[in-house]
Structure 1
Amino acid sequence: MMLEDTYLRAIKAIIANYGHAVQYVGGDPETGARPFAYTIGLHRSGGRDYELAVSGLGPAASAGVLDLLAEALSENDTPPSAGLQVRNLLELGLDLRLRLVSHPEELGVIRLVYGAAPTVWQALWPDLANRFPGDPAYDLADELQELL
């Protein structure tokens, strides 16, 4: 039995038990690529047709943000859209802002489980003044949060 088969069975079991799984992809110090994470299985539950992603956070923070965001969108029956700001979701009352992921097909485990990738929305996190990448006066380094 191949390790990939075992891993995919574990992912499918998590999806069956919780409605979705979170795949974390560590960064690469040699290339400067930032870590990122994405959900697998949301698009098959609760009438959703999308997955969620986040970049630049550690494993626990990524899973926490994605789970909070999925729950908030579901509870409020809010479909994701470009620029949608989900208010007061993070500590200190900070928001998340959504943007469409440019190449969802590159999120490999979704493809391995389902054969194709649905629409994926990236959650951007703000600086402490609640400004996002691309906003005037955003004061975090652009490379902290890679746009997927």
Structure 2
Amino acid sequence: MTGIDDFLYRQGEIIDRVGWAVTLVVPSDDDTADTAPFAYTVGLTAHDYPELIIAGLDPATSQALLNDLASRVYDKAEHFRHGQRIGDLIAGYDAVIIDGDPTEQLHPGGAIGRYGPDRVRLQQVVWPDRHGRFPWDTAYGFPSAAQPLIGQP
């Protein structure tokens, strides 16, 4: 088995056991400085839910947040709406869900490869700066490259 075949096989096992898997994409040393890490779910599409994506956080945090939300979707059939604020995901802050299409910076290749580009819908979990401002707000505390977006609220 090749490396990618082994990865896809193990990912499929996780999806079969849990209902989804989280894929982490961490920029390599060759990537430009404005390339943000991101993570996304794979598996929710099979149950007619959008895949979830988050950008700009460390892998462990991204995985924990996506697993929390994916379990709400998969186990409790919770649906998130475009522009919805979620107050119980990040301690002391709201997160916002936005709908959008994959971009060059935020491309859920594993989900698209597994289900096809016409089936995969995407919702991004957007986190605020320490003052509760989001990337679309004036005076957001991070450069736009820190948290690329798939859309606007």
**TM-score normalized by structure 1?**
0.84
Distance 1:8 1:77 in 2: 26
Identity score, percent: 32
Q: Deviations over 1:66-105 (max 9, x none)?
A: 11222345677542222111113112x2111011232279
Q: State the Cα deviation string for residues 95-130 of structure 1 (Å, max 9, x = none).
A: 110112322793211122223451110100011222
1:22-62, Cα deviation, whole Å (9 max, x unpaired): 000012454221111100001224xx421100000111111
Distance across 2 between alignment mates of 1:43 and 1:23: 14
> Which contiguous aligned blocks of 4+ residues in structure 1 show a shift greater than 3 angstroms?
71-78
Structure 2 partner of 1:140: 142
Is 2:39–2:54's contact at 8 Å kept on the other side of the alignment? Answer: yes
Separation (CA, whole Å) in 1 of partners of 2:9 and 2:20: 13
Alpha-carbon distance in structure 2 between the residues aligned to 1:103 and 1:11: 21
Partner of 1:107: 108
Q: TM-score, normalised by structure 2?
A: 0.82
CA distance in 2, matches of 1:23, 1:2: 18
Q: How many residues align?
A: 145
Gaps in structure 2 of 5+ consecutive residues: none
**Partner-residue secondary structure (3-state), 1:95:** strand
